[in-house]
Amino acid sequence: MAPARTQERSELDWVAIMCLAPSLLYVFAMFIYPFIYGIYVSLQPLKGEAWSFKNYVAFFSDPYQYVTIKTTFALALPNTIVVVLIALFLAYGMRRGIWMERTITTILVLPISLGVIFLSEGILGFYGTNGWLNQILLGAEIIQEPLELTHNFTGVILSLFMQNFPFCFLMLLGYISGIDPSLESSARMLGAGPWTIFRRVMLPLIAPGLIIAFALVFVLSFAVFPSAVMVGQPAGLTRTISIAAYQQAFEQYDMSYASAIAVIMGLCQLAALIVVIAVRRRTTIATTMGVGKR
């Protein structure tokens, strides 16, 4: 007999609750509560009366601070777009398997596992003015002066790309491979060429996953911290909002202000997510409408 999914109320019996309790309590105690506590703390500024928006006002009146939003956006948005587009291109092209797929995907897991710090340290060396890349380019006389690729905006972009691309690529590869291949075959039998198949059959199916991937990568990039410090210019060009929050917390010891900045950062990410969800709603409606049209 097919194990019945009973829809009775007794599915959530005491055994279920006992099993869920520890992890659920942990998430509540260590995630939800600090969140709420953080919001509370942000409203109790160090120098001022309780329950005021002083921190928020201070943030938005100080150009040194609020410019971080723009800086972080300028880093996160282009990076996300490039990563997602390239990852889509590659994952789509590799959807039916490719020579040495297992090796390639294994190698791509490395940057994800090694993590930001190691990669940034390596980027400093490899892309530095005295690093191998410049040596090769100079030696082959492709350039006359060494390229400034580290301790600036470019460095952070590079670092973000190296971290986010493999992650996004593997996600999309898994997702696209899961689409029923017979859909493509039937489209071909009906006379559709590869671009048409992509545009009218595959893209609508990939869209949900693509949008989620975009959201994930953007949100991650927006919170960039160590790369901005290690291969960027934390004092200037690449002073991201997370650096601002960190400095308030651990250099100025103003936990209240820091929490406020963290809240602002969270709100920015939330705003981005909402935009993404709205786009998703519109695209799914559009594609279903497109199906009827000829």
Partner 1 sequence: MADSINTLRISITKRYGGKTVLDRFPLEIRGREFVTFLGPSGCGKSTALGIIAGLVPATEGEIWHDDQRIDNVLPEKRGFGMVFQNYALFPHLTVFDNVAFGLSLQRRPAAEVKQRVQEMLGLVRLTGYEDRYPGQLSGGQQQRVAIARALVLQPRLMLFDEPLSNLDAKLRVEMRAEIKQLHARLGLTSIYVTHDQAEALSLSDRIVVLREGVLMQVGTPQEIHDRPKNVFVADFMGFRNFFDVELGHANGGIVESVSKGLKLRARATDDLLGPAVMAIRPEDIRVSRSADDVNSIRGKVELVEYLGREQEFAVSTEEGQRIWLRSAEKVALGDNIEITLPVEKLVLLPRD
Partner 2 sequence: MKRGYLWRLAIYLFLLGFILNLVGIVSHVVVSSFAKRWFGKPLPPAFTTDWFSYAWTNFELGHVLFITLFIALAVVLISLAIAFPAAYILARRNFNAKPILLLLYFMPLLIPQMTYGIPLATTLYRFGVGGTVAGVILAVLVPMVPLAVFILLPFFEQISLNLEWSASMLGANRLQIFRRVLLPLMVPGILTAGLLVLVNTISNFELAFLLAGGGSQTLVVALYYNVFAGGVRPVYSIDAMAVIYMVMVMSVLLVALRFVRPTQMVFRLDQTRR
98: enclosing H helix or E strand: none
Encoded one letter per residue, x for contact with partner 1 by CB under 8 A and - for no contact, window 210-229 reads --------------------
What DSSP designation does 10 have? Answer: G
CB of 7 to partner 1, least distance (A): 5
Q: What angle do helix axes 203-222 and 255-292 make, rounded to 10 degrees?
A: 170
CB atoms within 10 A of CB 125: 13
**AA identity, residue 55:** N
Stretch of 7-15, 37-45, 137-145, 234-242 contacting partner 1, by CB under 8 A: 7-15
The residue among 1 and 18 lying less far from partner 1, judged by its C-beta, is 1
Query: Using the rule CB under 8 A, is 15 a contact of partner 1?
Result: no
Query: Using the rule CB under 8 A, is 1 a contact of partner 1?
Result: yes
Is residue 70 within 8 Å of 64, Cβ to Cβ? no
The residue among 102 and 294 lying less far from partner 2, judged by its C-beta, is 102
The residue among 6 and 61 lying less far from partner 1, judged by its C-beta, is 6
CB atoms within 10 A of CB 234: 19
Stretch of 2-10, 106-114, 152-160, 258-266 contacting partner 1, by CB under 8 A: 2-10
From 212, 193, 220, 260, select the one nearest 54 (Cα to Cα): 260
By CB under 8 A, name the one of 4, 50, 140, 289 that touches partner 1.
4
Stretch of 1-9, 91-99, 192-200, 266-274 contacting partner 1, by CB under 8 A: 1-9
The residue among 153 and 258 lying less far from partner 2, judged by its C-beta, is 258
The residue among 109 and 285 lying less far from partner 2, judged by its C-beta, is 109
Q: Measured at the alpha carbon of residue 173, what is the angle toward residues 172 and 174, in degrees to the nearest 5? A: 90
Round to whole Å and give the CA distance between 34 and 157. 31
Query: Using the rule CB under 8 A, is 9 a contact of partner 1?
Result: no
Q: How many residues bind partner 1 (CB under 8 A)?
A: 7
Query: Using the rule CB under 8 A, is 50 a contact of partner 1?
Result: no
- Residue 275 binds which of partner 1, partner 2, none (CB < 5-8 A, kind-dependent): none
**Torsion angles phi and psi, residue 118, rounded to 5:** -60, -45
What DSSP string runs through 43-112? TS-SSS-SS--HHHHHHHH-HHHHHHHHHHHHHHHHHHHHHHHHHHHHHHHTTT--TTHHHHHHHHHHHH
CB of 141 to partner 2, least distance (A): 15
Report the interface residues with partner 1, using CB under 8 A. 1-2, 4, 6-8, 10
